[in-house]
Structure formats: structure tokens, C-alpha cells
A and B are shown apart, each in its own frame.
Chain A
Amino acid sequence: MKILVAEPMSPAAIELLRRQPGFEVIESNPKEYEQHLGDCEAMLVRSAVKVKADTLAKAPRLRVIGRAGVGVDNVEVPAATAAGVIVMNAPLGNIISAAEHTIGMIFASARHIPQAHAKLTKGEGVDKQWGTENIQPSFDFKFYPFVWQNGGDLFNKDYTECILNQEKAVQAFEFIYALRQYAPAPEEAQSGSPQSGKLMMWGDWELMNTLFVGQLPFEYSVAPPPASPNTGEIMFCGDAPGWAMPKGVKHPTESWEWMKFLFTPESLFRLFVAIAAPPPRISMLQTDEYFKKHPKYPNPELCFEITQMRMKAFKNTPKISNYEEAKTAMGEEMSLVWAGTMGLKEGIDKVTAKWTELVKEAVIDPDVGCAGKFC
């Protein structure tokens, strides 16, 4: 007798059938079983194969259909009866397993096991505290707009002139922003320290510059090296701030969203160009000791002179920027988000409102301008 096993079944069952003398077992699968229908006398199905009237019509010699399961909903029983085919099931087959599974689900729900597992794998651990206290924007801030001319030099070839242009600065930020697409997902986010091996949303110029000259085995390297065409060294007069999200931060999703907000061109412009940079910010950068102390600046005297020149270039009364207030506003609102008493969207809205206010207060030199679209 030919028996068609229309779906993959347990080998033990097939073995049982094969051992009977006179039984010929054809193993098939739901896609191909129809070709064997013509001469089979018995058929075994599970749940994928739907035995309807036309299937029965294709199997004239069929005498019995065995369903490896409890219900027979995938077999049209009236049609089988009309065709004279016996339909059998296995009513006690897996009732013990189903019962065990149900009890297991009851326990899992009662003890919140799936939620705990999800939390653990997401890195939240058992700590109920929110917080990204590890996100410290590296506001060791001595920013100057970066210039993408002369291959990234701030100076001309003779090092007699330093041209700082806001439009170029905005371009620089758009470049940083474009780096986002190369950043890893929050789950893979790692520290932005040079030793970590993975870059994430780190806008620090030093890091990016070392990255660009190929000194570190980072995975992402997307920009042409902003090196001096003369010496090959990176030429800049200041650092730009950056952010990184260390491993193990408590709520990576929210932190990621927050950092994406910080890296929008509008935010970057508000925070680092309109609020902070013009008018010139008083910082240690403007003393020559700073330049002498930091060996990476090849021309400390020139850098110092450039900053002095820049201060004079601004026609407004020099003013200390609103950068600290912007940072405080950000900290105040976001600390409520991290404490869990305010939603992220609301926090971002409040921070944006405060920054817009501060941009209005920051007096931007009309000659230098506002680079148009971000004011």
C-alpha cells in the first residue's frame, strides 16, 4: 500500500510505517505532494496541507487520511465522506506538551520572564534608574568654525592669513551630520575613546583627524583627510566638541534619539555657531599659553594672533556667548527626561525653545552673517 507522507513528520513515525510489510512510504512536502496523489492509498498530513475536494478528486485511490494532530480543520471532512475516505486524527497526541507549554506560559507571565530577558539583553540590567549620566558632551569647548578650503587648512600657504567663514562652518557641520549614516545602531554603540575600536557619533576633531590619517583601525572613515597640502599635518586652531554614548548606557534608544537631535544641522548651528562662536567666546584658547601647551598646534604664535584678529573682526562689542546658558538649559531639561518625569519629545521641545531664544540674544555680526538658512 502506498502511503504519502505529505508533510515532514517525525522519523520515528515514518520508521514505524516502513516496518510494516507491504507499506510503501513516500515522503514528500507540501509543495510536491500533489504529484504523488494519483496512486496513493493513504495520506498523512499535519497542518500545512489543506485537503479539499479537488485534492480528493486527484486522489482516486485514496482510502484514508491521517492527521497528525488534534483538530481536522485542514481537511474538508464532508468532501472526504462523500469520496469515501476515512479521516483520522490523533486526539491525544500532543495534549501533554500543550498542557506543559501552557503552564510554562503561565509561569513566564506571572514572573515577567520575557520582559526581564528583553531588558537584560537591551543592557538595562536590573537597575531601575534612567539616565545617561555617562553621556557627557565633551564640552571642553574651544570651538572655532572649521574651514574646508586649502584641503582643510585654516591658513593659506604662507600661514599669513586665517580665513574663518560661517558658511564653511555650516558645511562642516553638515558633514558631521552626514556621518550619522555610518554610525552603528544603539545596541552596538561603544565608547568613542580611541581605544574602543568603534566610532559612534563622535564629532571630536582630534579623533576624526587621527582617524582620517589612518592611525587607528576604525571601521568608518568617510571623509577626505583635512590635512595641509604642504605638510600633511592636520591644521586647525581649536577643537570641536563631540558626543559619544558609552557602552552600558541605561536607555540607549532615548540617548540615541537625543544625540540625533543634537546632531541636526539646526541644533549644531544654534549651539555652536550662533550661540557660541560669534561673538567670540572668552576661553583659555585665547591665551598663548594654551597654544604653547598643546603640542599639536604647530604654530602657536600664529594661532594666538589669529584669534586676536578674529576678535577684532567682530564689530559688535565683544560679548561672552550664551554657550553656558545653552548647556545649562540642555542639562536642566534633559535631567528631567533621564529621571523619567518628562518625555523625550517634550524635553527636546523645551531645549529647542530655549536655544531659539538664546540665538536671538546672541548678537551676530551683520557682515559675517547668519549663513542664511539656520537663523
Chain B
Amino acid sequence: MSVIARWRKPSLARQEAIFGFIFIGPWIIGFLALQLGPMITSLVLSFTEYQIVAAPKFVGIDNYAKLFTADPSFLDALKVTFTYGLVATPAGLVLGLLIAILLNQNVPGLMVWRTVYYLPAVVSGVAVGMLWVWIFHSEFGLINLALRIILGIQGPAWLAHPSWALWALIIMSFWGVGGSMVVNLAGLQGIPTELYEAASIDGATWWHKFWRVTLPMLSPVLFFNLVMGVIGSFQYFTNAYVMTGGGPGRSTLFYNLYLYKNAFQYFKMGYASALAWVLFLIIMLLTVLIFRSSPLWVHYEGSVKGR
């Protein structure tokens, strides 16, 4: 009599586990091939000199050393990106919050307003860049036209002037506050009205209500917007590339744009990879900082902080 090894049906738990892996399989493969793999490759390449026509040549931390000591463009890029981040992100947050508060009340045509404000946040790309190039035109652009008619002053040549090009891009970023506005609106509508009623009973003014009720209850949403805003500002590329290409001099040479130039115009892949990883570290550091600071000011429902 032969002993036939029988395939024992796996246990239920095991079966479920197998199915689980099959279900997440596509994502895992995608992640490994398209995200983790390139990340590791780029990390390895950042220690080499790779110009595509030849094999990568190992140079150790040469790229990083050159980055931090001998590259004025890198410092310019950092300066530009940080300026943009420090100005545009908080201003955008505040603006988004204000508009959300405004549109949280019963104004006529509410749905229209909300749609109108949100619309610019969904259009993107080169077309928007070209549109804003026209708006910023020094003679016939809307902004200079308005300045001339209303205030009687001659506006600067926005995108052609080294001091004004970055400000033009910052002003342009304000048209995207609709995105954070929508999230803020959702957060605002999640604040229980009993809190406001209780505050009124206690004799709170509108300022007290705003500062002591609205903001703390909204802080998780604001936290989210802040983190997204910071990460987004460090990844700013399309508009700089389309509208100014680095700007007069290096006044709008954003970090991502500089990375792109190094990678795809100068074909210095090793150097560009080093740049990419430095950017990653910077963003990670900032995000960690923001997260670490969150217990101080972010109130999640159910946790009691302060008095």
C-alpha cells in the first residue's frame, strides 16, 4: 500500500492570511517596483557619478560634500524654497481659514461661492501657468492694469524682475486656498453647536468664541493643512518651470526645479539623487518637528489639555 502524502487543507486562519496577501499583492508589487526600488536605487546612485552614457562611477560622499560646500545654486534654491514656504504656507492657511469661516454662515448663494472658491484648486498644470503669465504681464496683465486704474501706479514687471518674481508666485499660490478651505469647512461644521451656546451663556464675545472654541476644535484640521502645505511647498515645481524657468537670475530657482535641471538637463544623475535625498531629509525633519509640536496646540476630541 502506498502512502500518498495528502495535502492537508490549510487552517482557516492560514487561508485568510493567504487571501490577504493575494489581495494586497498588486499594491505590494507596485510599491516595491515603483516606489521602494527607485528609492533605494536613487540612494545608491547618490554616491556615484552617473551620466547615463557610462556606467555609474562610485565617488563616495563627493556629491554631498560638493552640495554643501561648493554649490551656490543649492543655497539659492534652499533660500527660495524656504522663503516661499515660510510666506505662502501660513498665509494660505490663514486665508483658507478666513474664507471657510465666512462661508460657514448663511450668505446668499452659498453653494455658488463654495464652488467658485474651490474650482482653482482642481485646475492645475501648464495651462494655469500660462494663464498666470498673462495675468502678470507688465503692460497688459490684469494686475498691472488694476494697479494703474485703481491706484494710479505702474506695477513692476512681475516675472522679469528678480525681486518680484518670487512674490508673483506667492500671490499666485493664494488662488489655491480652496483646497484647504473645503477641509476647514468640514471641520467647522463638525464643531458641536452646544459649545458655542455654552460660550454665549458664559458671556463670550465673538473673539473669545473664535479663539477658545473654534480654533482649538479646528486644530486637527489646521494641523493636517499645515503638514500638507509644508510638504507641498517643498515640492513646488510646475509653475516655476513653466512661468519663469528659474526666474531672472536665480530668484525663482526652487529646489525641485534645480533638481530637475541637474537630472534632466545637465544629466548629472548622481548629483541629482543626492539633492533628492537631502530634500527628503529636510522635509522629514520639518514634518517631525511639526508632529512633535502638535501636543502643544492640537486638541483631539477626548483629550483634555491645558486648564
- Asked whether, in the complex, the Cβ of A335 is within 8 Å of the Cβ of B52, the reply is no
Q: Is A254 an interface residue (CB 8 A)?
A: no
Q: Is B54 an interface residue (CB 8 A)?
A: yes
Taking a contact as CB atoms closer than 8 A, the residue among A127, A131, A335 that contacts B249 in the complex is A335
- Asked whether, in the complex, the Cβ of B54 is within 8 Å of the Cβ of A336, the reply is no
Complex Cα gap A318–B163 (Å): 40
Q: Is B216 an interface residue (CB 8 A)?
A: no
* CB nearest to A333 among chain B residues: B249
In the bound complex, residues from chain A placing their C-beta under 8 Å from that of B31 are: none
Complex Cα gap A240–B43 (Å): 39
- Asked whether, in the complex, the Cβ of B261 is within 8 Å of the Cβ of A332, the reply is no
Q: Is B299 an interface residue (CB 8 A)?
A: no
* CB nearest to A327 among chain B residues: B265
Find the residue from B51, B162, B249, B266 having the highest chain A CB count within 10 A.
Answer: B249
In the bound complex, residues from chain B placing their C-beta under 8 Å from that of A129 are: 138, 157, 160
Q: Is B250 an interface residue (CB 8 A)?
A: yes
Q: Is B24 an interface residue (CB 8 A)?
A: no
* CB nearest to A318 among chain B residues: B53
In B13-48, which residues have CB < 8 Å from any A CB? none
In the bound complex, residues from chain B placing their C-beta under 8 Å from that of A335 are: 247-249
Complex Cα gap A332–B53 (Å): 27
Given contacts A129-B157, A322-B266, contact A339 B248 (CB under 8 A): yes
In the bound complex, residues from chain B placing their C-beta under 8 Å from that of A342 are: 249
* CB nearest to A133 among chain B residues: B160
In the bound complex, residues from chain A placing their C-beta under 8 Å from that of B265 are: 324, 328
Q: Is A325 an interface residue (CB 8 A)?
A: yes
* CB nearest to B269 among chain A residues: A320
Q: Is B161 an interface residue (CB 8 A)?
A: yes
Residue tally, chain B, CB below 8 Å to A:
21
Given contacts A319-B53, A320-B51, A320-B53, contact A336 B249 (CB under 8 A): yes
- Asked whether, in the complex, the Cβ of A320 is within 8 Å of the Cβ of B246, the reply is no
Flag A293-326 by CB within 8 Å of B: 1 or 0 each: 0000000000000000000000001111010110
* CB nearest to B55 among chain A residues: A317
Shortest CB-to-CB span from B301 to chain A, Å, is: 51
In the bound complex, residues from chain A placing their C-beta under 8 Å from that of B118 are: none
Shortest CB-to-CB span from A160 to chain B, Å, is: 27
Q: Is A282 an interface residue (CB 8 A)?
A: yes
* CB nearest to A336 among chain B residues: B249
Shortest CB-to-CB span from B111 to chain A, Å, is: 44
A-B contacts, CB under 8 A, total: 54
- Asked whether, in the complex, the Cβ of A341 is within 8 Å of the Cβ of B53, the reply is no
Main SS at interface, chain A: loop
Shortest CB-to-CB span from B63 to chain A, Å, is: 14
Taking a contact as CB atoms closer than 8 A, the residue among A131, A320, A322, A328 that contacts B52 in the complex is A320
Shortest CB-to-CB span from B216 to chain A, Å, is: 47
In B102-145, which residues have CB < 8 Å from any A CB? 138-139
Taking a contact as CB atoms closer than 8 A, the residue among B57, B162, B250, B267 that contacts A320 in the complex is B267
In B235-257, which residues have CB < 8 Å from any A CB? 246-250
In the bound complex, residues from chain A placing their C-beta under 8 Å from that of B267 are: 282, 320, 324
Shortest CB-to-CB span from A123 to chain B, Å, is: 18
Flag A120-132 by CB within 8 Å of B: 1 or 0 each: 0000000101010
In the bound complex, residues from chain A placing their C-beta under 8 Å from that of B266 are: 320, 322, 324-325, 328
Find the residue from A131, A317, A339, A341 having the highest chain B CB count within 10 A.
Answer: A339
Shortest CB-to-CB span from A136 to chain B, Å, is: 13
Shortest CB-to-CB span from B67 to chain A, Å, is: 15
In the bound complex, residues from chain B placing their C-beta under 8 Å from that of A282 are: 52-53, 267
In the bound complex, residues from chain B placing their C-beta under 8 Å from that of A336 are: 162, 248-249
Complex Cα gap A328–B266 (Å): 10
Shortest CB-to-CB span from B261 to chain A, Å, is: 7
In the bound complex, residues from chain A placing their C-beta under 8 Å from that of B250 are: 332
In A227-276, which residues have CB < 8 Å from any B CB? none
Taking a contact as CB atoms closer than 8 A, the residue among A319, A322, A325, A328 that contacts B54 in the complex is A319
23 sampled A-B residue pairs with Cβ under 8 A: A129-B138, A129-B157, A129-B160, A282-B267, A318-B54, A319-B51, A319-B53, A320-B267, A322-B266, A325-B266, A328-B265, A328-B266, A333-B249, A335-B247, A336-B162, A336-B248, A336-B249, A338-B160, A339-B157, A339-B160, A339-B161, A339-B162, A342-B249
Q: A282-B52, A341-B249 are in contact. List 7 more A-B contacts (CB 8 A).
A: A328-B265, A332-B249, A335-B248, A336-B162, A336-B248, A339-B249, A341-B248
